[in-house]
Amino acid sequence: MNTPQAQLGDVLAAGGEELTGLLARTEERLAEVVAGHGDALGRHAAGTLAAGGKRLRPVLVFLCADGEGDGRLVAAAASVELLHMATLVHDDVLDGAALRRGRPTVFASGGRLAATATGDLLFSRAFAELAATGSGDAVRALSRASSSLARGELVQRADAFDIQVTPERYLERCRLKTASLFEASCRLGALFGGRPELADPLGRVGEQIGLAFQMLDDVLDVSGPSERTGKPRGADLLDGTVTLPLILARERDAVLASLDLRREVRDARAAAAVCDRVAATGVLDDARREALTHVAGAKAALAEVALPDDRRRALDLVADGVVGRYA
Amino acid sequence: MNTPQAQLGDVLAAGGEELTGLLARTEERLAEVVAGHGDALGRHAAGTLAAGGKRLRPVLVFLCADGEGDGRLVAAAASVELLHMATLVHDDVLDGAALRRGRPTVFASGGRLAATATGDLLFSRAFAELAATGSGDAVRALSRASSSLARGELVQRADAFDIQVTPERYLERCRLKTASLFEASCRLGALFGGRPELADPLGRVGEQIGLAFQMLDDVLDVSGPSERTGKPRGADLLDGTVTLPLILARERDAVLASLDLRREVRDARAAAAVCDRVAATGVLDDARREALTHVAGAKAALAEVALPDDRRRALDLVADGVVGRYA
């Protein structure tokens, strides 16, 4: 297990050997999928796979299930992670990103065409994994999430460089581009994990965790430290992506309210300066608090769900963990 | 119905009012999907949708079915067309194409990010359409095709600018990037059209038609006329895509055999000159003949399938039609 996964140490401990075993089988399955669909996918996607990541979505799948469920949990976990990987590969193409988690991106090693096609292939394999389970409900959950992720990208594009974007619109974007797949992960865990009657409530828990996750991510983009986040501060600003910290800060600082991102934030230095200015307004604590309301929302929703205590505790830890990062 | 569809006039006549009605419902469904998933998709994909095209894949779905089937045929037809549209939108991003069928591409009107996300959304909706049918077999068929399309792009990328690419590798690429979705279309038609026992043989018919279609497309890229094909001659050469005509011609013309596409074919004029040189070797007739062997293969396979005569005739017409284009 690599470093980012170590952050989930408490969750893994709470989930016991069963969770560790299921995650190991997910890794095996992901490696098989990547190796089994042509040299090109193997070459291009192996790096993305090996770069790891927290496997947070598979963890949610497993924590929402009762034990090993009906044998289709690993397929579900692999499918949500494949979909996540597909979006990462496409994001890197769009951002022209050379590195992700310290490794060359598919875009950097294979070029734009190979990376777009690799993303499409990962997309397809995500659906293939679930299709093999024979569950229409599961495929529907994934296709809904997959549509939301793409809509989230489109909304982000439509709102790019708009300093006046509303908080409601920002929240909707978080829901589409992040929370939807967290929701689907919990839903799939319930469906295949012997708790189909809990698919809706656990889906809502996942959604709240996803919202908190994205909101904290947006705080970290402003606060850094970049050695921990793995990207320069203000990367969102350079893309024209206006997030909660800036939305809150523009109410307190007239200069920020009339900022022209396209003209005034053209390099990492300018982006870092805006980050400093946003932080100086004191909004980062407010934005963190906003993220924490969604953690609280997740926990409140969890309290209503008929789950064994140890599972509820493990999911609580995940919810706390997404905003506890680098704190 | 627009011009390209008029080429299918004979098929539509053979298919009767039923086929025309099913195609009209497919158009309605496609319009609904595009309108129903956010302003951004509506704006970006409506052009791709309106640009039409032959709707050849939906036609195959319907011709492989017995009448209106079990009511899921339109969903299947919409899903294969949505997947096809998704790949077109991504292809236009990769090619930096400004126009498709005389209309601005999503890439041209919305930019790279919007086009990539629009393609992903169309992808997702393709799976959502099929997931709603509740058929795991159907989703599996689509995900297999979708994976093949992406692998085809990767193989094409890996082989780009390689003048020594083998005929076998070329055929494999045609199978992946084109024939796979034709195969899936026929398979879905059989599955939902009350002929599940014919899914395999009709899938093979679709595959042969798809191979013939792609091979003729590659001949047309060399032969033109560009007023008919809608793109300049030699567009494939400029992308570094080596197809059957050049593979055959390199055996007859030493200059072509040692052509350095990257250095020597950098603009439309150079590409047209290479097309002339390829045509001068006389290989275009051979390549057309090669495509015709797959038409014959499709018809031979059809002759073995227990279909009503009028359906077999209509499918024969489709097979003939794909190589009869602009003849």
Confidence of residue A8 (pLDDT cuts 50, 70, 90): low
β-pair partners for B100: B103
Note which residues in 127-156 of chain B have CB less than 8 A from chain A.
127-128, 130-136, 139-140, 142-144, 146-147, 149-151, 153-155
Q: Across the interface, which of A125, A135, A143 has its CB nearest the CB of B127?
A: A143
Q: Write out pLDDT tens, residues A271-324.
A: 999 999 999 999 999 999 999 999 999 999 999 999 998 899 999 999 998 888
Question: Across the interface, do A135 and B139 touch by the CB < 8 Å criterion?
Answer: no
Half-sphere exposure of residue B175: CA atoms within 13 angstroms, side-chain side = 11
pLDDT of residue B52: 67
Report the pLDDT value the prediction gives residue B5, as an integer from 0 to 100: 40
Indicate whether A174 pLDDT > 70.
Answer: yes
Which residue segment(s) compose the domain that A59 sits in?
3-324
Q: How far is CA A59 from the centre of its chain?
A: 12
E strands present in A42-149: 99-100, 103-104
Judged by CB atoms within 8 Å, which residues 22-41 of A form the interface with B? 37-41
Tokens for A97? 């990103």
State how far the alpha carbon of A35 is from the alpha carbons of A38, A41, A43, A132, B124, in Å. 7, 7, 8, 18, 24
Tell me, what amino acid is at A316? D
Q: The tokens of B142 are what?
A: 């689509």
Place of tokens 């908190």: A212
The whole-number pLDDT of residue B79 equals 96
Average pLDDT, chain A: 89
Q: How far is A145 from chain B (nearest CA, A)?
A: 9
CATH code at position B244: 1.10.600.10
CA atoms of B220 and B279, how far apart (whole Å):
11
Least confident of A5-14, A185-194, B33-42, B247-256: A5-14
Measured distance CA(A209)–CA(B181) in Å, rounded: 38
What is the Rg, in whole angstroms, of the alpha carbon atoms belonging to chain A? 19
Choice between A232 and B51, residue whose per-residue pLDDT is larger: A232
Q: What percent of chain A has pLDDT over 70?
A: 95
- For residue B242, what is the DSSP state? -
Q: Using a CB-CB distance cutoff of 8 angstroms, which residues of chain A are in contact with residue B153? A: 113, 116-117, 120
Pick from A118, A124, A157: which is nearest to B114 by CB? A157
Compute φ and ψ for A199, nearest 5 degrees: -60, -45
Cα–Cα distance measured from residue A326 to residue A250, given in angstroms and rounded to the nearest whole number: 25
Band of residue A7 on the pLDDT scale cut at 50, 70, 90? low
DSSP 8-state secondary structure symbol assigned to residue A100: E
Q: CB neighbours of A24 closer than 8 A, spacing ≥ 6?
A: none
Provide the ipTM: 0.78
For residue A279, which amino acid is it? A
Task: Rounding to the nearest 10 degrees, give the CA dihedral for residues A228, A232, A233, A238.
Answer: -150
- How confident is residue A153, by pLDDT bands cut at 50, 70 and 90? confident
The interface residues of chain B toward chain A in range 45-104, judged by CB-CB distance below 8 A, are: 87, 90, 93-94
CA atoms of B57 and B194, how far apart (whole Å): 18
| CB atoms inside a 10 Å sphere around CB A150 | 30
Report mean pLDDT in 10-residue bins for chain B, 327 residues.
48 78 93 80 74 86 90 95 92 78 78 84 90 88 92 88 95 96 98 95 97 96 84 89 97 95 93 96 96 96 92 92 76
Which amino acid does the sequence have at A315? L
Nearest CA in chain B to A138: B131
**Set of chain A residues whose Cβ sits within 8 Å of the Cβ of B125:** 143, 147
A219 band by pLDDT with thresholds 50, 70 and 90: very high
Write out pLDDT tens, residues A16-60.
788 999 999 999 999 998 887 777 667 777 777 776 678 999 999
DSSP code for B164? T
Q: Give strand pairing partners of A99.
A: A104
Q: How many domains does chain A have?
A: 1
Distance of CA A327 to the CA centre of its chain: 18
The pLDDT of residue B3 is 34
Between chains, do B121 and A44 touch, taking CB under 8 Å as contact? no
- Taking the alpha carbons at both ends of chain A, their separation in whole angstroms is 22
> Please, what is the end-to-end C-alpha distance for chain B in angstroms?
22
Output the CA angle B264-B270-B276, nearest 5 degrees: 115
Distance from C-alpha of A279 to C-alpha of A245, rounded to nearest angstrom: 8
In this prediction the pTM is 0.86
pLDDT digits (tens, 9 = 90+) for A87-126: 988 888 877 777 777 778 888 878 778 888 888 889 899 9
Partners of residue B103 on adjacent β-strands: B100
* Confidence (pLDDT) at A327: 53
